[in-house]
């Protein structure tokens, strides 16, 4: 049964849902660029600048949301959940930006096993985050997306472990090992941060669904 409408003297500020979707849109663009960065045999370092621009835009969106939260008397979900959701989305963007920045900083000239697959997994995870956020306002239909994000996180763990194993078995240059190990770690972390977003969304659903 639909929940009964409740009359409120002070209306709730519902724009937060649109803010979350705007942040997710920037994440989709950034993850797509990261995937393009690692699509060919040689990384496209120029994508790091474009990802950094999106990271800055994401920071602006996060700041504006937090400012609105401080000014809003009645929020659609608990204030701490709005803060946690915005922060977790920002963490995903930071992880994508860190990975891209590291690839350029280290002047990595080849794409190691697993890196391209991790980038694809990041993109898939971000898409599921966007889909989960698109139904958050209705407080239903989130579960399948959360389950898929969890599956993708497990898949990223497997890809990361295999990539690191292959790196140590096939690479003899210790500096190259250190550079690629750190890069693979950052790529895998971006998927972990998507799971953090899913966990916050599930917490909101438990409270308000």
Fill in the DSSP letter of residue 111.
-
- CATH number belonging to domain 15-208: 1.20.58.220
Residue 106's Cβ-count burial label (10 Å; 0-12, 13-18, 19+) is middle
Q: According to the model, what pLDDT value does residue 9 have?
A: 44
For residues 138 and 140, what is the distance between their CA atoms, to the nearest angstrom?
A: 5
For the chain, the domains span: 15-208
pTM as predicted: 0.92
Closest CA relative to residue 119, chosen from 52, 69, 44: 44
Q: Which residues of the chain have pLDDT under 70?
A: 1-13, 209
What confidence tens digit (pLDDT) does each residue in 61-86 have? 999 999 999 988 888 999 999 999 99
For residues 160 and 183, what is the distance between their CA atoms, to the nearest angstrom?
A: 10
What confidence tens digit (pLDDT) does each residue in 88-123 have? 999 999 999 999 999 999 999 899 989 999 999 999
């Amino acid at each position: 049964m639909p929940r009964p409408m409740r009359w409120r003297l002070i209306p709730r500020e519902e724009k937060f849902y649109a803010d979350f979707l705007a942040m997710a849109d920037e994440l989709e663009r950034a993850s797509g660029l990261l995937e393009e960065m690692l699509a060919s045999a040689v990384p496209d370092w120029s994508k790091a600048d474009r990802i950094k621009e999106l990271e800055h835009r994401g920071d602006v969106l996060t700041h504006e949301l937090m400012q609105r939260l401080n000014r809003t008397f009645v929020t659609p979900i608990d204030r701490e959940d709005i803060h946690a959701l915005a922060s977790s989305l920002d963490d995903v963007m930071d992880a994508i930006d860190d990975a891209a920045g590291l690839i350029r900083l280290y002047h990595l000239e080849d794409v190691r096993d697993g890196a391209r697959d991790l980038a694809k997994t990041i993109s898939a995870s971000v898409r599921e985050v966007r889909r989960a956020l698109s139904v958050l306002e209705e407080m239903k239909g989130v579960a399948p997306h959360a389950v898929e994000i969890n599956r993708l996180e497990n898949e990223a763990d497997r890809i990361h472990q295999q990539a690191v194993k292959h790196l140590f078995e096939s690479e003899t240059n210790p500096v190259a090992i250190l550079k690629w190990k750190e890069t693979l770690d950052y790529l895998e972390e971006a998927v972990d941060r998507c799971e953090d977003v899913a966990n916050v969304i599930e917490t909101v659903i438990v409270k308000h669904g």
